[in-house]
Structure 1
Amino acid sequence: MASGKKGGNNSLAKGLNGRRSSKHKEGPIETDEDRNMNLDAVMDTKSLFAALYSVCEENATFFSGGPNGPQGDAALRMVDTMMLIQEHAHSLEPVVSGFAAVYHHFDFDPHIPANGYRSLVKVVRCCILHIIHKGRYITTNRRSIFFRAAHNAREMEAYCSALCQLRALLYLAQRLLHDNSHGNLFFHEESGLSQSFVREYSSMHKGCFYGRCLGFQFTPAIRPCLQTIAIGLVAFGENYRPHQSGIGVAASSFFTSGKYAIDPELRGAEFERITQNLDVHFWKAFWNITETEVLSGLASMTSTQVKVNRAISVPPVPFDLPLVADPHLTVTIAVPSAHTGPGPVQMRLISYELREGQDSEALLSLSRSEGGAVSLSLGMKTKRSPPSRWLVVHYHGGGFVAQTSKSHEPYLKSWSQELGVPILSVDYSLAPEAPFPRALEECFYAYCWAIKNHQLLGWTGENVCLAGDSAGGNLCITTSMRAASHGVRMPDGVVAAYPAILLTAYASPSRLLTLFDPLLPLSVLTRCLSAYAGMSEAQAEKQVEKVSTLSMVRRDTASLLTHIKQGASNWIHSLLDPTRADTTNLATTGKGAWLEHPREFPLGFEPLRSEKLAEMKLATSPVVRNPYMSPLLAPDNMLRGLPPIHLVACALDPMLDDSVMFAKRLRNVNQPVTLCVVDDLPHGFLSLSQLSRETREAANVCVNRIKDVFSQQDSPPEPRKHRKLERTNHCASFSTTGDPEKLFESPVPDKELLVVGGGATFLDGEGLVDVATQNNVDVVG
């Protein structure tokens, strides 16, 4: 299913078999945007930039005035913007070409073209395609009496700002490529380069990505949903008060959301303020809106109807399980007790069919009160199916700080129907109230309890698959590691969707996407991971001063216009003086504090800066290097005991590099692993699976991976030795393995010197991809 090129509206999954599976649009209707976005499938880098230069030059000439040309401020802004776009493009073209020549060396497999460097180039190409599309629209309609020059000038200014910031990101990625050890996507230090990235993020202007350009990098079908989420977020943030109920804030937000729907600049500025300044409790409240009875009731009515949907509470009682190595011996499974002491573990049993044992008195005694938890039709006349051979144990996502299985019910119900198996979803305790390792303790306890009490779940106890998304994907892997360390039976497979596998603050190319990702901004991500690690925010209870958003918009607009005029002047001078170096001089605010640090960008270039720095620090703690928290850092002997791992990642997800590097590590120790990468969808697409055809297809990829686990177990398996892993204290470091960078290295006899645009070089010694057979073509995965 691999594909190196694709149109912007197709969601493709890249798998190990090297085939391409393309889903075409239903019906004969194709929009102008679809046709222009599909140019990405056939345009190489040189043709793409040539088309950009042409459309910008044509429109700049038309709006430049003359006796018959248009006049006014909008026309002047259009000319300045077109010139500045060309200036950015002239600097970007060699950098993009340089990355295109080398990024294939970082792929997991030649048939799976995916890594953070590819993603950054893909986003830049997507931004350029949007500019070309808008420029051609202007060319076609600029003489019409209905043409709105001011509106189209604002559109071009927004994408010009986005292109400027993307140019900065490529420069940062270039330095990452240069400074990283060979074959690694991560810079394995939290100081130095990683710290400088955080400093840049704190000051760089991000509002342009949340206004008119919101979600431009994703498939068009998902953008209206992202816009709705963004409007809801900024309205919720405006009305948010600590200790106020989420439903109350949501109700107030409904009446203030209109202004953000009609004013993209206002929405972008407010979105930037919220993501940079509000603490983890705000995000916990916002993400838990889907838990309210109103929204969960609506989701329940539109989702698959199941016979069993029961919330259960398992009391904290220790029990014994037999050891795999010697079933005559047992190991005691301790109750979860970290941080808050022993307490019940909450779960939810979902089954499309009523199976034997699911209505037993023993299970009913564990049920917790919840409206509509189980169908009222479960009487004596209801037919009970025999127990299933398979059980799926599910761990939900939510950044370790939010949501429960209730938010994930819609796709879990569909899974239960399509797979024909019961699903046990674990409602583990959430940070910051219950940080690591409490969630892991509860997930492991729930897994063992399910094995011990399989007859209550409508399951024979034969085969079990762990599945989870995001934070839940991390818990699937670490639960398997803990099962191995205890010597109990292992799951037959793990399916992890866009998992968070490395929770340190290490820089990587895909993590640069957090600058403009509407669902995973870096400041939000660091707050969630810090909460899970038990690190309190320095100013968690501090009242955040609410700046005037309207005044911020005015200042940002004035800054942008100054930047455009100065950039246009530099562009004209560069034409007159060919020897002149790149002198893009973007307007910045608060620049003095940044001159103390080494320059991250070429002389004469500065990205747009925000007026208010993000309130975030690079908090570090030894606990984040614990293999049970960051499985990517686990020593080889721990990884060798894992079951088959199936990773489903997103090409535009800041967590992409986690999956790519983890798949490489597993392959290096001869562990069965597959990696499937879905294009053009954001992190968390499972929760959006009912909103578009593309997200449904991506959700089906996860279902197919679970089916693969089923089919592999149904076929005669090869004898596989169970390896009991060493127990690891939750504050353990790398003393058993030495330098953490060596975890990602492979012995390679030859090293290849590669050159990247701009003069950067690096030694490629990864040895995981047969570089001799790779083609240096400009292909975006």
Structure 2
Amino acid sequence: MDFKAVFIALETVCDESVDALCGPPDLPYGAVAQRLVTTIVQIQEHGRALLPVVAGFAAVYHHYDFDAETPANGYRTLVKVLQSCLLHIIHKGRYVATNCHGAFFRAEHNACELEAYCSALCQLRALLYLAQRLLHDNGHGQLISTQDGAVSRRFVREYSSMHKACFYGRCLGFQFSATLRPFLQSVVISMVSYGETYGKQQSGLGMAALSLLTSGKYVIDPEQRGAEFERITQNLDLQFWKSFWNLTESGLITGFTRITSNPVNVNLTITLPPVQLRLPLTSDPRLTTPVSPPVAHTGPGPVHARLISHELRDGQDTQELLAYSDMEESPMVLNMVSSWSQKKARSPWLMIHFHGGGFVAQTSKSHEYYLRSWSKDLKVPILSVDYSLSPEAPFPRALEECFYAYCWALKNAHLLGSTAERVCLTGDSAGGNLCITVSMKAVSMGIRVPDGIMAAYPATLLTIDASPSRLLTLIDPLLPLGVLAKCLNAYAGLGTLSALGRDTALLLSDLTWGASNWLQSFLDPARSRGPTRPPPTLSPSKPLASSASDPVLRSDSGGGGDDERDYPDGFQPLRSECLAFVLQSSCPVIKNPFVSPLLAPNELLKGLPPVHIVASALDALLDDSVMFAKKLRDMGQPVTLSVAEDLPHGFLSLSQLTKETEVASDICVKRIREVFQQKNPPSNLRKRPTNNNNNNNK
């Protein structure tokens, strides 16, 4: 829908609603009617201020797309989210204008609804002003600020103090597909209920039951739910997030998943012993190079993985493979399978999968649902690697384990039911990062690289640098900045669980509701609270150096410091009573190319196989995907970028919930099939120059 038509409709609806509420006859709910009028007037003011801002983005944001066929970047996403908010307001405003004189009109409920969306609109307006700053400060076509630390510091500062509870209450998930909103509400209610019982001496099942008993109040009171979710996402420690995310791997949930998902003939967990491997060099297959087992942090250790295959194939029921199994019942299961299944020949294809979970949580169990479907649809065996998790095993342990599993699979493909004529690496989020970095390591060692990569919404830059899509971490219920920062810092080895726990304890004891309010007013008296009722009011204004006609906000001094003013006269976003603590580290590990492949030099990326990225238009990491795809394309590397609409980060784990997530999963399958069915890749993808040291390893 054209953005101008949306703003025209908003203006019309606001006028009609105010006329209906203020016109005769007098309404029986006079005080609430006044609240409605005040809120609608504020919404109208926000709309009038935002129209020229959106027009400015619309004039330039095509310059930031990957290509003309892929209109996607963070600037478009912010406008899309804003339009979703405005369309909800228009719908509610029309209802108020039409029904406010009716006997069954729920004045209080509708006032609360509009107040919540007014708060959300105010905060979105702040995000668009921050995006203007990015547009002004970044280079042409650049989406991520990796050079100007001041821009990223302002981004973190705004996250730390900005009111976000309105996005987790009545407005929860307004930007996503309508079919996903009930699920998102369930996740948020579950999380705040779990947070209330977290730390109590209960078994996993007992804690889940206790959380269920406490969840009722968060269903009834969305304001309380939003405030509690904001508190949890701001400051609870990493161990809480690991514990909550791993609930998806409880016996009850995984059992249900296996019942509802496609049946497979092979689902076997295996353990790869830490022994040195030798692989041939692509430059001269007569020579080999050693591949050591993972050693970082804890010394040599095994790597765990799961073999999934819809069809039983040659090699998968051998005693040699069963020797790697750590499941006592595996021989019996495979014998039962082989007794009634017709064994198929080895597949020419092999998929190696690295799961997501922010480098800190989950295993292949959490991703079984879609892997089972993929194995059936593609008729391919899948080896999913259960790499060690942070912060107990930070970088480079996960990379070492994934690379070792990749090399082991190349040497032992016959046990996995494959001839490995075509090998595709797949992964989502953190797993997408590992797909790319494992391939980079194969390039650097001069061994065979995979024939292609399918990375779903990958994390390609693990710094806390600002980008327009990353601004969504200020409002995203699934990927808030506080949680994202904890995961990235844990993978980089910054802090341990105990240290993070101590930080949280200090924050939760010191930053109480009263203390944090006092501290906020002390730091900046111009900043006000962000209440949900009565209607939110704008804080006192800051002066702006630029003229009203200039769509880009400029600094007072032009120096790029933290004292720059991001908002125009008369506007400030609502501020939170619960301040966040976000560690923004300059640790060099984060900029290691094998941690943040977007920062890798061209020489290291030159040998990558075709990379297929599947992103989401509403993902906070969208710009990571766009910029990485553009970098590969500009180098002449084969790359594609597909963008799914109206879905959040992590949509593969939701593929069984809605038609939209199923379609996005099908896009991933299509890209994987392209890797397997491609004609012989260029010779430079098979044979590469290698280090002289490698040539000596025979």
Moved more, 521-530 or 234-243: 234-243
- Residue 707 (structure 1) aligned to one of 669, 673, 686: 673
Flag the 1:564–1:57 CA change in 2: closer, same or farther, 3 A. Answer: farther
Cα distance in 1 for partners of 2:437, 2:364 equals: 19
| 1:24-35 matched pairs, under 5 angstroms | none
Q: Does residue 151 in structure 1 map to residue 109 in structure 2?
A: yes
CA contact (8 A) 2:317 2:335 kept: no
CA contact (8 A) 2:538 2:574 kept: no
**Distance apart, 1:619 and its partner CA:** 2.0
Q: Deviations over 1:277-297 (max 9, x none)?
A: 101111000000011111111
Aligned residue in 2 for 1:456: 415
**Distance apart, 1:669 and its partner CA:** 1.0
Q: Does residue 541 in structure 1 map to residue 506 in structure 2?
A: no
CA contact (8 A) 2:283 2:690 kept: no
Cα distance in 1 for partners of 2:184, 2:516 equals: 23
Identity %: 59
CA contact (8 A) 1:65 1:71 kept: no
Cα distance in 1 for partners of 2:597, 2:274 equals: 27
Aligned residue in 2 for 1:350: 308
**Distance apart, 1:63 and its partner CA:** 1.6
Flag the 1:235–1:407 CA change in 2: closer, same or farther, 3 A. Answer: same
- The one-letter code of the counterpart of 2:628 is F
Aligned residue in 1 for 2:68: 110
SS in structure 2 at match of 1:541: helix
Cα distance in 1 for partners of 2:563, 2:534 equals: 25
Aligned residue in 2 for 1:720: 684
Cα distance in 2 for partners of 1:623, 1:181 equals: 25
**Distance apart, 1:143 and its partner CA:** 2.6
| 1:511-550 matched pairs, under 5 angstroms | 511-536=470-495, 539-542=500-503, 543=505, 545=508
Flag the 1:73–1:65 CA change in 2: closer, same or farther, 3 A. Answer: farther
- Residue 137 (structure 1) aligned to one of 89, 95, 104: 95
**Distance apart, 1:232 and its partner CA:** 0.5
**Distance apart, 1:183 and its partner CA:** 1.8
Aligned residue in 2 for 1:8: none
Aligned residue in 2 for 1:626: 592
Cα distance in 2 for partners of 1:491, 1:670 equals: 18
Q: Does residue 394 in structure 1 map to residue 353 in structure 2?
A: yes
CA contact (8 A) 1:397 1:473 kept: yes
Gaps of 5+ in 2: 521-527, 542-546, 550-560, 693-698
Q: Deviations over 1:618-648 (max 9, x none)?
A: 1221001111110101111111110000000
SS in structure 1 at match of 2:336: coil
**Distance apart, 1:720 and its partner CA:** 3.0
Cα distance in 1 for partners of 2:603, 2:664 equals: 33
**Distance apart, 1:405 and its partner CA:** 0.0
Cα distance in 2 for partners of 1:233, 1:93 equals: 36
Aligned residue in 2 for 1:403: 362
**Distance apart, 1:72 and its partner CA:** 2.3
Cα distance in 1 for partners of 2:194, 2:515 equals: 20
Q: Does residue 365 in structure 1 map to residue 328 in structure 2?
A: no
CA contact (8 A) 1:503 1:630 kept: yes
Q: Does residue 606 in structure 1 map to residue 564 in structure 2?
A: no
* Structure of higher RCO (CA pairs closer than 8 Å, 6+ residues apart): 1
Flag the 1:382–1:71 CA change in 2: closer, same or farther, 3 A. Answer: closer
Aligned residue in 1 for 2:378: 419
CA contact (8 A) 1:481 1:725 kept: no
Aligned residues: 661
Q: Deviations over 1:688-713 (max 9, x none)?
A: 0001111111110100010111121x
SS in structure 1 at match of 2:304: strand
- The one-letter code of the counterpart of 1:618 is Q
**Distance apart, 1:541 and its partner CA:** 2.4
Flag the 1:206–1:673 CA change in 2: closer, same or farther, 3 A. Answer: same
Aligned residue in 2 for 1:652: 618
Cα distance in 2 for partners of 1:550, 1:247 equals: 35
Q: Does residue 671 in structure 1 map to residue 637 in structure 2?
A: yes
Moved more, 106-115 or 185-194: 185-194
| 1:321-340 matched pairs, under 5 angstroms | 321-340=279-298
SS in structure 2 at match of 1:378: helix
- Residue 603 (structure 2) aligned to one of 622, 625, 637: 637
- The one-letter code of the counterpart of 1:431 is S
SS in structure 1 at match of 2:214: coil
Aligned residue in 1 for 2:523: none
CA contact (8 A) 1:185 1:657 kept: yes
- The one-letter code of the counterpart of 1:87 is E
| 1:69-218 matched pairs, under 5 angstroms | 69-189=27-147, 191-218=149-176
**Distance apart, 1:45 and its partner CA:** 2.4
Q: Does residue 662 in structure 1 map to residue 621 in structure 2?
A: no
**Distance apart, 1:48 and its partner CA:** 1.3
- The one-letter code of the counterpart of 2:93 is G
- The one-letter code of the counterpart of 2:272 is V
Moved more, 539-548 or 464-473: 539-548
- The one-letter code of the counterpart of 2:502 is E
- The one-letter code of the counterpart of 1:524 is V
CA contact (8 A) 1:246 1:285 kept: no
SS in structure 2 at match of 1:545: helix
Q: Deviations over 1:406-442 (max 9, x none)?
A: 0100100000000001000000000000000000000
Cα distance in 1 for partners of 2:607, 2:439 equals: 9
CA contact (8 A) 2:129 2:566 kept: yes
**Distance apart, 1:321 and its partner CA:** 0.7
Q: Deviations over 1:359-384 (max 9, x none)?
A: 11011111112778946632445321
SS in structure 2 at match of 1:288: helix
**Distance apart, 1:563 and its partner CA:** 5.9
Aligned residue in 2 for 1:377: 336
Gaps of 5+ in 1: 1-39, 571-579, 583-594, 728-781
**Distance apart, 1:196 and its partner CA:** 1.0
CA contact (8 A) 1:299 1:410 kept: yes
**Distance apart, 1:262 and its partner CA:** 1.4
SS in structure 1 at match of 2:508: coil
- The one-letter code of the counterpart of 2:571 is F
Cα distance in 1 for partners of 2:177, 2:658 equals: 10
Flag the 1:107–1:581 CA change in 2: closer, same or farther, 3 A. Answer: closer
Flag the 1:159–1:704 CA change in 2: closer, same or farther, 3 A. Answer: same
Aligned residue in 1 for 2:557: none
| 1:506-585 matched pairs, under 5 angstroms | 506-536=465-495, 539-542=500-503, 543=505, 545=508, 559-561=531-533, 564=536
CA contact (8 A) 2:153 2:562 kept: no
| CA-based RMSD | 2.6
**Distance apart, 1:182 and its partner CA:** 2.0
Flag the 1:76–1:550 CA change in 2: closer, same or farther, 3 A. Answer: farther
Cα distance in 1 for partners of 2:115, 2:270 equals: 54
- The one-letter code of the counterpart of 2:570 is G
**Distance apart, 1:313 and its partner CA:** 0.7
**Distance apart, 1:508 and its partner CA:** 0.6
Flag the 1:581–1:422 CA change in 2: closer, same or farther, 3 A. Answer: closer
SS in structure 2 at match of 1:299: helix
Cα distance in 1 for partners of 2:137, 2:338 equals: 66
Aligned residue in 2 for 1:503: 462
SS in structure 1 at match of 2:42: helix
Aligned residue in 2 for 1:769: none
Q: TM-score normalized by structure 1?
A: 0.81
**Distance apart, 1:47 and its partner CA:** 1.9
Q: Deviations over 1:3-43 (max 9, x none)?
A: xxxxxxxxxxxxxxxxxxxxxxxxxxxxxxxxxxxxx3xxx
CA contact (8 A) 1:318 1:335 kept: yes
CA contact (8 A) 1:322 1:330 kept: yes
Flag the 1:503–1:557 CA change in 2: closer, same or farther, 3 A. Answer: closer
Q: TM-score normalized by structure 2?
A: 0.90
Aligned residue in 1 for 2:430: 471
Q: Does residue 297 in structure 1 map to residue 255 in structure 2?
A: yes
Cα distance in 1 for partners of 2:342, 2:514 equals: 62
Q: Deviations over 1:452-483 (max 9, x none)?
A: 11111001131110000000000000000001
- The one-letter code of the counterpart of 1:535 is L
Flag the 1:146–1:47 CA change in 2: closer, same or farther, 3 A. Answer: same
